[in-house]
Amino acid sequence: MSAHVVATLTLCLSVTRLQDTHGENIAFRKLAKQSSTYQGNTASRALNDTHSTTGSLTSDTNPSWWEVDLRGYFDISNITLTAANNGWVQHMRNAYVEVMDKNVSLCSDAQVEWCGNVSSTVTKKEKFIFICNATFPIRFIRVTRRSTENIRLSIGHVDVQGVGATKRYRSYYTPTTGRKVTNPSMTTSAITAGECGIHCHRNHSCIDFSYNKTASTESNCLLTYEVVPQNYVASNAWTMYTMDNCL
Domain spans, the chain: 3-13+169-243, 31-164
pLDDT, average across residues 52-59: 97
The predicted pLDDT at position 204 comes to 63
For 45, 158, 226, the CA distances from 29, given in Å and listed in that order, are: 10, 11, 6
- Taking alpha carbons only, the member of 246, 83, 206 closest to residue 153 is 83
The predicted pLDDT at position 200 comes to 83
The predicted pLDDT at position 161 comes to 96
Tell me the CATH number of domain 3-13+169-243, given options 3.40.50.720, 3.40.1380.10, 3.50.4.10, 1.10.287.3610.
3.50.4.10
Rg over alpha carbons for the chain, rounded to the nearest Å, is: 19
The predicted pLDDT at position 181 comes to 85
What is the value of pTM for the model shown? 0.72
Question: Would you say domain 31-164 falls under CATH 3.40.50.1820?
Answer: no
pLDDT band at 225 (very low <50, low <70, confident <90, very high): confident
Is the pLDDT at 68 greater than 70? The verdict is yes
The predicted pLDDT at position 217 comes to 67
Is the pLDDT at 26 greater than 80? The verdict is yes
Q: Which residues contact 105 (CB under 8 A, 6 or more apart)?
A: none
Is 56 within 8 Å of 45 (Cβ atoms)?
yes
Output the CA angle 38-39-42, nearest 5 degrees: 65
pLDDT, average across residues 5-30: 50
Which of the two residues, 166 and 2, has the higher pLDDT score? 166
Is the pLDDT at 30 greater than 70? The verdict is yes
Is 70 within 8 Å of 103 (Cβ atoms)?
no
